[in-house]
Structure 1
Amino acid sequence: MNISFTFKNFDPSDHLKKYANKRFGKLGKYVSHSDVAELQVTLMVEKFRQKAEVILKADNMNMTALESSEDMYSSIDMVLDKLEAQLRKSREKMKSRSKKAKANKTVQMDYLTFHDRESGDWTPTIVGRDSYEPKPMSIDEAAMQLDTKENDFLVFLNSDTEGINVIYKRKNGDFGLIDPGH
């Protein structure tokens, strides 16, 4: 994360620069490594007010925060708290959206039959449809469950990768795994 500082109407001490750089550097934990993040910090003095304004721009977010007090260190701390709260809220919102998207994964299976036309072509016809939500489980659990059933395959939600997988019985008695995510 690139951090740039702008100081208006005062000359900052070295201690203030180090303090601000250390405090705002902690925001990197909220920004994913794939994002190119830019943090613009403006510290300014207007009469008796010490203001801190922060603008965070990344691939998937754009946030601003502004705080003022009679002490620049306090202004830095307050604006940092405000921005961290925004980032935590954004992270939780993304997690809940992700969970909802994963929870809404339903699988539909069509039952086909093939009819012989007079021309000799085999054409599939849908004769039934099944829809269900796959249960989260490990590959080992899915293999054990498939072994106890008479079905030739099992569609499940892989608890390790959180993707839809299919485990099936092979003709030699072993199991095969279809993982579309890899």
Structure 2
Amino acid sequence: MQIAVTFRHMESSDPLRDYVEEKLARVKKYIDEPIDAQVVLSVQKKINQRAEVTMVAKGLTMKSAEEKDDMYAAIDLMVDKIERQLKRYKEKLKNHKGSEGVQRRIEKTVYSAPSFDEGHNEPEIIRSNSFFIKPMSVEEAVMQMDLLDKEFLVFTDDRSEEMNVVYRRKDGNYGLIVPHGK
């Protein structure tokens, strides 16, 4: 497992770094693939200790962040949360057979809002990414959206091979957008 620990608004600490590595070693049992973990430990407003992790393994991305008044407690809560997510993911994978459908490449572009408001002919592009999305079931898409802590997820349905969108509604439930042809 590759673990990168970044310290923000605080001194770098080898004991904290070792503690993070020791705690994150627990999650290896849930994923066989190589894992890349980015951990950010920070102090906010001089009292809030925040621990965040973003883990990527085998096309799966998970995020967890916790805040406490003690950094070690924040790390413990962060690791517990990511471990619960991985347990839930592994259970769902047991119940769901993976699809070997065609992966699609999508492009994500972020535009500057003022460029639209001010009536410019061409919108200003802030950031653009392209990536592949694998076919998955609606349940797997909802789970992936929860793991990423996102409000919506674009995915290819593993049965119909159509592009769909699952999103979190304001009432806490989930919505699904399924495009229909002509």
Read off the aligned partner of 2:38 and give its amino acid letter: Q
Instruction: Please tell me whether Structure 1 or Structure 2 has the larger radius of gyration of its CA atoms.
Output: 1
Deviation above 6 Å: which 4+ runs of structure 1? none
- How big is the shift at 1:56? 0.7
The aligned residue for residue 51 of structure 1 is 50
State the secondary structure of the residue aligned to 1:85: helix
RCO higher in structure (CA 8 A, sep ≥6)? 2
Matches of 1:93 and 1:62, distance apart in 2: 16
Matches of 2:75 and 2:37, distance apart in 1: 14
TM-score, normalization by structure 1 = 0.50
The aligned residue for residue 34 of structure 2 is 36
The aligned residue for residue 23 of structure 1 is 23
Matches of 2:13 and 2:96, distance apart in 1: 44
State the secondary structure of the residue aligned to 1:36: coil
Matches of 1:13 and 1:62, distance apart in 2: 27
Within 5 A, what are the aligned runs for 1:119-138? none
State the secondary structure of the residue aligned to 2:56: strand
Matches of 2:79 and 2:34, distance apart in 1: 20
Identity rate, percent: 36
TM-score, normalization by structure 2 = 0.50
Cα-to-partner distance string for 1:138-175 (whole Å, 9 max, x where unaligned): xxxxxxxxxxxxxxxxxxxxxxxxxxxxxxxxxxxxxx
- How big is the shift at 1:36? 3.1
Q: Which runs of 5+ in 1 are unaligned?
A: 102-182
CA RMSD, Structure 1 to Structure 2 (Å): 1.8
Cα-to-partner distance string for 1:108-165 (whole Å, 9 max, x where unaligned): xxxxxxxxxxxxxxxxxxxxxxxxxxxxxxxxxxxxxxxxxxxxxxxxxxxxxxxxxx
Matches of 2:84 and 2:72, distance apart in 1: 18
